Structure 1
Amino acid sequence: MTREKHHPEGSPVGRRVVLGLLGLGAAGVAIGPYLQRAESALAERDPSGLSGLLPGNNGFRYYSVVTSVPRRDDADYTLTVGGMVERPAAHRLADLRAMPQRRLVKDVQCVTGWRVPHTPFEGVPLSHLLDAAGVKAGAKAVRFDCFDGEYTESLTLEQARRDDVLVALRMQDNPISHDHGGPVRLYVAPMYFYKSAKWLSGITVTGAVEPGYWEQNGYDVDAWVGRSNGRSDEPTS
């Protein structure tokens, strides 16, 4: 059973609730065009993430674990890299855009069941940022913090250095929108989408894996698609 975590800004929705309500999406297909226009604003106010069950949005569902998330753009966005590194850094959007970019086209798979096939993501390989910072001996993992003030994620250092893990700036051939976690989000292609933290603001190299927000609420720390969270049959690509 999923353990719930409560905090002043709102409570997350457990995966049992999400799985139980996914049928609402299919039931609402006929009114999808009308709901889609209001969904972005609703997602901002809905701490449970249930607004993500509405149809539309190219198959994606929106989830947020807080009531609202500040917006960031070229003027005020910064991504910090620190912890067990030789050269801590703070990167603006222009800095990230000037770095080597990689494009991946993979299926996005949510642990709650929905899937968006052949989704392009583009961004800086996370390994590039780690190499530029100079990871110190003894480091074992990487923690990711988000400017919603609540969400965190973590990968082992080996996972973080995979060539299919990006600090993503673009999705579906457009800059990543605020609702999709922009201007910068993590993208961990081979894992369920909760590992791809939205609104990324900090990368911290650590001595051990620190379970992220949903791992503290019952999800698997290693979230390989088809090989975790009690599932064994989801397709990968």
Structure 2
Amino acid sequence: MSNSVDPKYQSTAPDEPNIHEASDVIISSDTRRENRIPPGQTQTRKWPVLHYGHVPKIDLKSWRLQIDGLVDNPLTFTLEEFQSLPRVKVFSDFHCVTRWSRLGNLWEGVSVRHLMELVGVQDTARFVIATGYDSGWTTNLPLTDFDVEDALLVDRHDGVELDADHGGPVRLVVPRLYAWKSAKWLRRLTFLDDDQPGYWEQVGYHLHGDPWIVNPQNPDGERFRDDPGWQGERRE
């Protein structure tokens, strides 16, 4: 697709965080870094489309989001119910494990923290599994990265409705982790007391997936479980 017809191509430089300082937008802390590109990454102005299988065909009228596991009040939302919840906007960068980073994204949707309050996540919960509509694809996240101000369930990106190629109608976005942790075509969130590897994690991807984790032997982020970065520390 040429840049002239790609609606996601950034024809100008991406926004800087200070553009949103006086607005109602939550600014992701990693977006305030002097160097916003993690180790081993390259900036792109496109938004590449990557997934392991086909884009699922989702009937918007039958779409459901289920939230369960270690919660006091399991809930299921229709798309209309989801979109009627209080809204937030988050400005963040987006880092794919395939080594590209798209800076200056404006996400709109529902805060993860608000959903956690609605279902009453129990004190014993330590992890969450996100499940997609694409043949039950899953990814695991620790609550220390999920229960944060800038994590949200997204249905709009850069002012327009989130398209199916990029995970619409609703996807998870957790800016501080690699993008495979931001599950597309979301249909379920399950809170757990133990860490259960998801689809890519079962074949060797890192259980955590922080692009800013480094160590002297491998300053390249948490990509795979067998690399020295497994024992690294987050670069601030």
Moved over 4 A (4+): 33-37
Shift of residue 137 of structure 1? 3.5
CA contact 1:166–1:186 (8 Å) conserved in 2: yes
Q: Which structure has more strand as a fraction of its residues?
A: 2
State the Cα deviation string for residues 21-71 of structure 1 (Å, max 9, x = none).
xxxxxxxxxx7369969xxxxxxxxxxxxxxxxxxx951111222245122
Q: Give the deviation of 1:166 after TM superposition.
A: 0.5
> Match of 1:32?
2
Number of residues of Structure 1 aligned to a counterpart in Structure 2: 184
Distance 1:102 1:129 in 2: 12
Aligned-partner Cα distance in 2 for 1:122–1:67: 25
User: Which residue type is aligned with residue 227 of structure 1?
Assistant: I
Question: How many angstroms apart in 2 are the aligned matches of 1:116 and 1:148?
Answer: 24
Within 5 Å, give how 1:47-196 maps onto structure 2: 59-73=46-60, 75-196=61-182
Maintained 8 Å contact 1:103/1:120: yes
Q: CA deviation at 1:150?
A: 3.4
Distance 1:83 1:215 in 2: 20
TM-score scaled to structure 1, two decimals? 0.70
Give the 3 Å change call, closer, same or farther, for CA 147–104 of structure 1 in structure 2. same
Deviations 1:124-143 (A, max 9, x none): 11111111101123221111
CA RMSD of aligned residues (A): 2.5
Task: Work out the percentage of aligned pairs sharing the same amino acid.
Answer: 29
For 1:59, the aligned partner's letter is: K
Check conservation: 1:106, 1:118, Cα contact below 8 A: yes
2:202 is aligned, of 209, 216, 223, to 216
Note the alpha carbon deviations across 1:68-90, whole angstroms, 9 max, x for none: 512232x1111001111111111
Give the counterpart letter for 1:66 in structure 2: G
**Range with bigger deviation, 223-232 or 202-211:** 223-232
| Residue 220 of structure 2 corresponds to residue 231 of structure 1 | yes
* 1:191 CA displacement: 0.9
Instruction: Provide the C-alpha distance between the structure 2 equivalents of 1:94 and 1:140, rounded to a whole number of angstroms.
Output: 29
Higher helix share: 1
* Aligned partner of residue 214 in structure 1, secondary structure: helix
In structure 1, distance between residues paired with 2:6 and 2:89: 28
**Alignment correspondent of 2:191:** 205
Counterpart of 2:118 in 1: which secondary structure? Answer: helix
The one-letter amino acid paired with 1:65 is Y
**Residue aligned with 1:162, SS:** coil
Q: CA deviation at 1:106?
A: 1.2
State the AA in 2 paired with 1:216.
Q
Q: 1:184 and 1:163 mapped to 2: Cα distance?
A: 18
SS in 1 for 2:80: helix
1:65 and 1:151 in contact (8 A); partners too:
no
Unaligned runs of 5+ in 2: 8-43, 222-234
- Paired residues of 1:59 and 1:115 also in contact (CA < 8 A): no
Q: Report the alpha carbon displacement of residue 230 of structure 1 after superposing the two structures with TM.
A: 5.8
Deviations 1:172-215 (A, max 9, x none): 11111111100000000111111111000001111112112111
